[in-house]
Amino acid sequence: CTKNFERYNTDNTGVTDDDLKADFKDLGTFLTRAQRSVINFSGGGDPNSYQLQQNLNADCYSGYFMSPNPFNGGQNNLSYFMMTGWNGETFKVGYLNIMASVNKLRVNGVDTAYPAVWAVAQILQVAGMSRVTDTYGPIPYSQAGSGKTGIAYDSQQDVYNRFFLELDSATTALRSFIGGSETLPFTFSTFDLVYNGDFTKWLQFANSLRLRLAMHLVKRDPATAQLQAEKALNPSEGGVITTNAGNMAVKVSGAGFSNPLVFIAKNWADIRIGASIQCYMTGYADPRIGRYFDKSTDESFPAQYKGIRIGSISGGSKDDYVGYSSLNYTDGNPAFSLTSPVQIMTAAEVYFLRAEAAVRNWANAGATAQSLYEQGINTSMEQWNVSVGSYVSDATSKPDAYTDPKNSANDAPAPSAITIKWDDAADINVKMERIITQKWIAMFPEGMEAWTEFRRTGYPKLFPVVNNNSGGLISTEVQIRRLPFPQNEYNTNAAEVNKAVQLLGNADNGGTRVWWDKAD
């Protein structure tokens, strides 16, 4: 008699699709998961995933951070010794958390039943997967989820083209919903961890995201870059983010969730401020510095804002450098706590993107480069609730040289002589350096986009790694350009990842540039 066998072989702690139908959890579960995964904290609890997804690569390669922890005796990604086990998480999160969730919404019929909600899902997919392609280059995209094995990769150019088409579809749906009278049978704000159910803000984010992605292509494909940027900025599209109220930041709410960056800094003490951003901000006497960083707590030198040089930790103890400046969650008026929203895109960044568009004389920038540049700075100061003072008119302050109070071998001259005050007469390179440098300070602590922009523009000028353990694969001066494909792809999808290396056009290592990183 085996009539109960199916019941026995059913996990009593599992949840089924049927269970999730009530209260539209079959929609909310996946939409919120996608939101929490662009920068991944969807697992709750320990932010192991985020640490490898972004923190121990892009966050440090962008000059924002450095780990005091001598992982693997200092031979790790931060000294260009590419750890096999560290290079797959960005990829994994993209597919298992973002694309699988969005796919589930499609399976559940959200695309046809609630096109505006589906539009939000598509925007999240583009926001998330653009980070994946920017990290590796070619990725599986059009064929993702199509079988158990043998998932083909798309070239990065094809992936970007798809992004733009998906954004087209999403913004069209959103404009139609906003202009129409359709209502949803559920309260969308319950499932919206960003804009509290405001579809107009999602539309503005979508346009801002298009602008950001367009700008990524300016070196390789300036025509597409200009076309997409002008489209993003075209008022008929619904506008871009202009105020801090429109910032794309995912709320950290619900038991078990925490801001993963703050968690790593505070609970694990595994991440500290990087030397590059410290030198720029101390050099500029930037009013945001006291909000971003706390002062050093190492007893061997006086308390001060002091970052760590990337690639300088080669063995020894974590205690050697753990007392250097941390992300500020304690000092004075800290900007960060375990429940701080996870920031993905700000109004300030959009102003700087528009400033660049203006410098390039593209249509629809909406104002002069100088005014957009200054508005970018002002909006950021406002975001962090500090007084801008005479910052924008400071024509003398320059980034500091770096001194390491514990090891002078890490000392380095100032990375750049760029000042703050806008100079309309300067050549385009100086203008670009100024815009990107200030954008970089404003975007803190979102390292993924900062690393992408550094690779695209060469700005801000960042300190190179002190120790380069890449065995000659990555140039210390040119700095790291991408992460190698995950080992798991070679183990499970070998034929396709080998084709992807052909698409990449060069060896699969950190020294190879992705498609948009190469001037044609």
Partner 1 sequence: SFSQTVTITGKRMALYDIFNSISKQTGYEFVFDEKLLQNAGPVDINMKSAPLQQVLDKCLSNKPLSYNIIDKIIVISPKAAIKETSVAAEKPAATIQGTVTDSAGHALPNVSVQVKGTTRGALTDEKGHFSLQAESNEVLVFSYLGFQTKEITVGSNTNLSVTLLSSDQQLGTVVVTALGIKRSEKSITYATQQVSGVELTKAKDPNLINTLNGKVAGMSISPSSSGVGGSAKVILRGNKSGLGSNQALYVIDGVPMNNSLTSQPNSSYGGSGAYDGGDPISNLNPDDIESISVLKGASAAALYGSQGANGVILITTKGGKAGRTQVNFSSGLTLSQIAYKPKFQNSYGQTGGTGSNPQSWGDKISGGSADNLSSYFRTGTNLTNSISLSGGSEKMQTYFSYANTSANGIQPKNKLSRNNLNFKETGHFLNDKLTAEADVNYITQTIDNTPLSGFYFNPLTGLYLFPRGANLAQYKDKFEVMNPARRLMVQNWPFNEDVQQNPWWIVNRNPNSLERNRLLLNASLKYEVASWLNIQARGSIDRINDVYEQKIYAGTIATLAPANGVYVYSNTTTNQQYGDLLANFNIPVNEDIRITGILGGSVRDVITNGEKFNSGQEGLNIANKFLIQNFTSFNPLNSGTLQENHSQFQSVFGSANISYKDWVYLDLTARNDWSSNLAFTPSGSYFYPSVGLNLILSQMAKLPEAISFAKVRGSYAQVGNSPLAYQANPAQYTFSAGGTFSQSTAVPFTDLKPEKTTSLEFGTEWRFFNNRLSVDATYYKTNTKNQTLQIAASNATYYDSYFINAGNIQNQGVEAIVRYDVLSDTKLKWNTGLNFSTNQNRIKELAPGINSFTLSGASGSNYVSKFAVGGSFGDIYGSVLQRDEQGRIKIDADGKPIRQSGDLVFVGNANTKWQLGWNNNLSFKDFTLSFLIDGKFGGKVMSITQSMMDQYGVSEESGAARDAGGVKVNGVDPSGNAVTTVDAQKWYTTIGGREAASGEYMYNATTVRLREVALGYTVPVKNTFVKALRLSLTGRNLLYFYKKAPFDPELTMSTANGMSGVDIFMPPATRSYGLTLNATF
Q: Which of residues 448-477 bind partner 1 (CB under 8 A)?
A: 467, 469, 471
> What is the C-alpha to C-alpha distance for residues 66 and 250, in angstroms, rounded to an integer?
24
20 Rama class: left (phi>0) / alpha (psi -120 to 50) / beta: alpha
Minimum distance of partner 1 from residue 151's CB (angstroms): 4
Does 408 help bind partner 1 (rule: CB under 8 A)? no
Query: Is residue 268 close enough to count as binding partner 1 by CB under 8 A?
Result: yes
Residue from 106, 108, 144, 168 that binds partner 1 (CB under 8 A)?
Answer: 144
Out of 13, 183, 387, 390, the residue judged to bind partner 1 by CB under 8 A: 13
- Take residue 58 and report the two structure tokens written for it: 């892009």
11 touches partner 1 by CB under 8 A? yes
Position 336: which residue type? F
Task: Report if residue 128 touches partner 1, rule: CB under 8 A.
Answer: no
Considering only 374, 433, 453, 489, the residue that binds partner 1 (CB under 8 A) is 489
Applying the rule CB under 8 A, the residues between 38 and 67 that interact with partner 1 are 42-46
Q: Does 502 sit near partner 1 (CB under 8 A)?
A: no
Token code pair at residue 330: 């304690």
Nearest approach in angstroms of CB 485 to partner 1 is: 11
Contact call for residue 129 and partner 1 (CB under 8 A): no
Instruction: Based on the shown chain and the rule CB under 8 A, indicate whether residue 1 belongs to the binding site for partner 1.
Output: yes
Site for partner 1 in 302-321 (CB under 8 A): 315-320
Q: Is 444 in the site for partner 1 (CB under 8 A)?
A: no
256 binds partner 1 (CB under 8 A): yes
Closer Cβ to partner 1, 153 or 391, answer by number: 153
Reported in sequence order, the residue ranges of 353-477 that DSSP labels E, i.e. its strands, are: none
What does the alpha-carbon distance between residue 61 and residue 474 come to, in Å, rounded to a whole number? 13
Considering the rule CB under 8 A, would residue 339 count as an interface residue with partner 1? no
Q: Would you call the peptide bond into 460 cis, given omega within 30 degrees of 0 as the criterion?
A: yes
* Binder among 25, 162, 398, 421 for partner 1 (CB under 8 A): 25
Write phi, then psi, for 117 (nearest 5 degrees): -70, -40
In the list 145, 235, 302, 389, the residue contacting partner 1 (rule: CB under 8 A) is: 145
- Contact status: 33 vs partner 1 (CB under 8 A): yes
Q: Which stretch binds partner 1 (CB under 8 A): 8-16, 211-219, 279-287, 416-424?
A: 8-16
Q: 74 near 161, Cβ under 8 Å?
A: no
Is 126 one of the binding residues for partner 1 (CB under 8 A)? no
CA dihedral 314, 319, 320, 323 (to 10 degrees): 130
Of residues 91-120, those binding partner 1 (CB under 8 A):
91-92, 94-96, 99-101, 103-104
User: CB 89 → partner 1: shortest distance, Å?
Assistant: 10
Interface segment toward partner 1; rule CB under 8 A; list 139-147, 164-172, 175-183, 238-246: 139-147
Q: Can you name the residues that pair with 342 across neighbouring β-strands?
A: 250
Asked if 162 touches partner 1 (CB under 8 A), the answer is no
Q: Does 172 engage in binding with partner 1 (CB under 8 A)?
A: no
Q: Which residue in the set 327, 486, 504, 512 belongs to the binding site for partner 1 (CB under 8 A)?
A: 486
If we measure between CA atoms, which residue out of 205, 252, 348, 194 comes closest to residue 50?
A: 252
CB-based contacts of 344, cutoff 8 Å, min separation 6: 38, 39, 127, 248, 249, 250, 446
Strand, helix or coil at 412? strand
State how far the Cα of 360 lies from the Cα of 365, in Å rounded to an integer.
Answer: 10
Residue/partner pairs of 468-474 with CB below 8 Å, 24 or more apart: 468/79, 468/80, 468/311, 469/75, 469/79, 469/80, 469/81, 470/80, 470/81, 470/82, 470/509, 470/510, 470/511, 473/80, 473/507, 473/509, 473/510, 473/511, 474/80, 474/509, 474/510, 474/511
**# binding residues, partner 1 (CB under 8 A):** 85
